[in-house]
Structure 1
Amino acid sequence: MAFDLPARPALGRADLFVSPANALALAALDGWRDWPQGRMILIGPHGAGKTHLAHVWAAEADAVLVDSAALPGTDLDALAREAAVALEDADHLAGDAEAEAALFHLHNLLAERRRPFLVTASAPPRDWGLDLPDAASRMQAMPTARLEPPDDPLLSAVLVKLFADRQITVAPSLVAFLVARMERDLGTARALVAALDARALAQQRPVTRQLATEVLEDNG
């Protein structure tokens, strides 16, 4: 019987591959002690690696990671007493009056207490569509670091690591084949490797270019 076991993403510093796509953003986060007013927004498209960088920064700064969906109803005073805070997907708060007010108050509390504050989003604050002027002005005043879509070296390194995590050895030519045909998205890379592993186990076949072609066509 074949078991398709879930693979938990590794989000530590040792698992971070540096390429031109993420090097500048990583350098900006590494310099967090010198951020203006201790604030930074990390901007990048879906699947570029924002969550991984946020986890790396949180480990370095002893920060609490908060998903934007959990912000409304959170004890903001208690949260702002933490050593640092990373708020993920802040652009998802737009249009929710309670959430936007919470964002505004959290920003102010962290500023008053001089706690570092990292925010991640897929676009600059001016494009979020925030309705609360005070929240919009606070976010737009924050400095930004930008992640580019994953490039070939980053996607290749991630694929090799994902296969190795599943104890699958693949030829470099197969990695290049996949990189040339997949979306430039780290989430897509994880899903693709999982699909290849599942089909290889189910059909008792090695992970080859033929198998990869079938999976890519089925998911295209």
Structure 2
Amino acid sequence: MTTQLSFDLPVRPALGREDFFVSPANAFAVAMIENWRHWAGRKLALIGPAGSGKTHLAHVWAAAVQARIVRAVDLTEADIPDLARTPIVVEDIPAIAGHPEAEKALFHLHNLVLAEGHSLLVTADKPVLAWGLRLPDLLSRMQGTQAATLDQPDDQLLAAIIAKMFADRQVAPTAGTIPYMVLHMERSFDAARDLVTRIDRAALDGKRPVNRGLAADIMAQTPMLPYLDNLDP
């Protein structure tokens, strides 16, 4: 029987539309990205927990409309009028909460890009009212922005996410590994990312194949995680 070993290769995320798996947990957000011409006020807030696919969908949209992508924390050093010349993605808005200059920069970018007739996509890990924005005018603009939420994954999406995480690491788990992980793990993006990282590292360190046995070993090493309640006796 052929054994698939893991090698220490660079992680290269695949960010094309064809690489994004659609399930009920993210179908609305995907539909909103694909129908961007109908966004109310030409803007959208993409909201979801870490690992939910916000950045992936942002890159899909940016490629489709030739938008530029900027982190919110970098806006104070950016040329705002220049950014407003094209559609724009601003990632991780909550990171600038309470920073007056950054909030002002985002407020001006919001107004300029829309005045130029372009579209604006912003991302965050929680709803607008939890962002902690202090600038009243910016907060009102963000509250008036239509939102699309990416929910925690169902089993189908969780399996697809794990498969993509392994593929990004250029790792090919044996048949049955991913279904076993999905059956026994916590249903969350954070848990999937943590588990794939630990399995990959253990495979590299121990020169072991990425299979069900390795997955079970790694999951059993962290007894406080919720998914262990579902492990086979």
Q: Percent identity?
A: 49
Q: Which amino acid aligns with 2:54?
A: K
1:143-189 deviation line (CA, Å, top 9, x unaligned): 111111122101112223444552524223x2122123334444653
Name the aligned partner's letter for residue 178 of structure 1. Answer: M
Within the alignment, does 1:78 sit opposite 2:79 as a pair?
no
Instruction: State yes or no: 1:44 paired with 2:48.
Output: yes
* Deviation (angstroms), 1:63: 0.6
Q: 1:115 maps to what in 2?
A: 118
Task: Spell out, residue by residue over 1:64-117, the C-alpha distance to the aligned partner (whole angstroms, 9 max, x if none).
Answer: 0111121112110010012x0011111221111111111111111012111100
| Kept after mapping to 2: 8 A contact 1:37/1:114 | no
Indicate whether 1:137 and 2:140 are aligned: yes
Task: Select 2:66's aligned residue among 62, 69, 76.
Answer: 62
Where structure 1 has 5 or more consecutive residues not aligned to the other structure, the ranges are: none
- Of 8, 24, 27, the match for 2:12: 8
C-alpha distance in 1, partners of 2:100/2:88?
21
Indicate if the aligned counterparts of 2:200 and 2:210 stay in contact, CA closer than 8 A: yes
Paired residues, number: 217
- Report the secondary structure of 1:42's partner residue: strand
Long gaps (5+) in structure 2: 1-5, 226-233
Residue number in structure 1 paired with 2:216: 213
Match of 2:151?
A: 148
Matched residue of 2:10: which SS?
Answer: coil
Alignment-mate amino acid for residue 38 of structure 2: D
CA RMSD after TM alignment: 2.0
Instruction: Tell me how far apart the structure 1 counterparts of residues 165 and 101 of structure 2 sit (CA, whole Å).
Output: 39
Q: Please say which of residues 35-44 and 159-168 is displaced more in the overlay.
A: 159-168
Alignment partners' CA distance in 2, 1:69 and 1:182: 34
Relative to 1, partners in 2 of residues 1:155 and 1:133: Cα closer, same or farther, differing over 3 Å?
same
Task: Specify the code of the residue in structure 2 equivalent to 1:211.
Answer: L
User: Is the 8 Å Cα contact of residues 68 and 88 (structure 2) preserved in structure 1?
Assistant: yes
- Give the Å deviation of 1:192: 2.9
Normalised by the size of structure 2, how large is the TM-score? 0.85
TM-score by length of 1: 0.89
